[in-house]
Structure 1
Amino acid sequence: MTPLRALRGPALALATLLAAALPALAAPVPLATLSNYINRIDSVQGSFSQLNPDGTRSEGIIKIKRPGRMRFEYTKPDNSLVLAGAGQVAIFDAKSNQPPEQYPLSQTPLNLILRSTVDWRVSRSVVGHGEENGMTTVTVQDPNRPEIGTMTMYFEPSPLRLAQWIVTDEAGGRTLVKLGPLTEADFPPSTFSISDEAARR
């Protein structure tokens, strides 16, 4: 006998009423739809806010030109810059006079959304797909480099848009990036040139 069938009279009526009042969980947006959405992102920009592992907050402007290019411009008082271009990710520290730290883009979670074609239906990089607080979540991890951490993206379903992501590094530190609406924009090639940026600084 199921627990519901074991109830009688007012208790059964109350249980039925409560069950009817519970909201149905929204089905996650299919991976094929999400892949198509990412692949349609061409040249866009928007605002972002960032919560760092140490609890500090920062904000700025994000610029994306797929494939392979992204620019995080942090606003004052930070004025730092994270730049992805030509297969590299460079971190320009506004407080340092040293050349930027550089890493291969392929060794960062950003590579999983900046590659030329995304198809999460068949990708071994997808390690999670679900629903949380009304948003669809997709967690990706490079199967060949699990040590670089994971990236969980949150998509608002209607209209479909990438609203935020959380990058978890190898030490368990979590960086949350919330995105404002992304709008189409044109950028000169120097926008994503690490060498040009280094010369300007």
Structure 2
Amino acid sequence: MKGDTMTRRWFRTIFTALLLAVATAAGAAAAESKAALLSADDRADIARAEEYLNAITTLKARFLQTSPNGVSVEGDVFLSRPGRLRMQYDPPSPLLVVADGSFLIVHDRELGAPSYIPLGSTPAGMLVQPNLRLTGGAVTVTRVARLPGVVRISAVETEDPASGEITLVFSDRPFELRQWQVRDAQHQLTTVSLFESRTGLPLDPKLFKFIDPNMTKSPLNLNAN
């Protein structure tokens, strides 16, 4: 099963890049210049997005993640704002991603020790931060696009616009987050699509606690339905 192992290694590399890629190759001054070109309609849609995201306390959804080579995997995503996220991949994928409020932990159960990434340096960090602002702060919107029934908002990290860009995709009516896309510094695009979303549900706090199975004989085993 050498091919499967190599595929998992490649996928983990791409996914880690996804979680780290939160900026664009342009400089901070260029990002600010783009933000200044936003129209009144653009700013109205940005305000809708901020209001929607800040109103979310908890969210549960199915997700479909598609990597640049076309490989797709599914799973369940759980969100508890502020600071907490869990992406639980369906078998046979060995991946698990947990944001515990401080770190984003990426764990491949077959390839060794988990990776701990500061939450603030990831797209997940933007989604779960309290009092989310898409303009005038840590995040800079570079463009807003409107298609029939869809609003797309692309943003970069204001202080570190060097490696990629995240695009949040919302349905227009009702206004709901349906997808996020991350384009890294090599212009590789990874897409996470949400479906069967439900908000305001009680979620077990244990979902957002990670116990390294390499450090204990009793690995965390959660069955969240």
State the match for 2:134 in structure 1: 120
Is 1:137 aligned to 2:152, yes or no?
A: yes
Shift of 1:40: 0.7
Normalising by structure 2, we get a TM-score of 0.71
Moved more, 64-73 or 191-200: 191-200
Is 1:177 aligned to 2:192, yes or no?
A: yes
Q: How many residues align?
A: 174
Contact kept in structure 2, 1:46 and 1:63, CA below 8 Å: yes
Give CA-to-partner distance per residue, 1:1-42, whole Å, 9 cap, x none.
Answer: xxxxxxxxxxxxxxxxxxxxxxxxxx6662111100000111
Q: What RMSD in Å do the two structures reach over aligned CA positions? A: 2.0
State the match for 1:108 in structure 2: 122
Contact kept in structure 1, 2:88 and 2:95, CA below 8 Å: yes
Percent of aligned pairs with the same amino acid: 25
Is 1:191 aligned to 2:211, yes or no?
A: no
Contact kept in structure 1, 2:149 and 2:173, CA below 8 Å: no
Query: Which residue among 24, 46, 67 is the counterpart of 2:61?
Result: 46
Normalising by structure 1, we get a TM-score of 0.78
SS in structure 2 opposite 1:125? Answer: strand
Q: 1:77 to 1:112 in 2, by over 3 A?
A: same
* Larger RCO, structure (CA 8 Å, separation 6 or more): 2
- Contiguous gaps of at least 5 residues in structure 2: 1-40, 221-225
Contact kept in structure 1, 2:167 and 2:180, CA below 8 Å: yes
Shift of 1:88: 0.6
Shift of 1:65: 0.3
- Contiguous gaps of at least 5 residues in structure 1: 1-26
**In 1: Cα distance, 2:110 partner to 2:127 partner:** 29
**In 2: Cα distance, 1:117 partner to 1:171 partner:** 31
Contact kept in structure 1, 2:114 and 2:212, CA below 8 Å: no
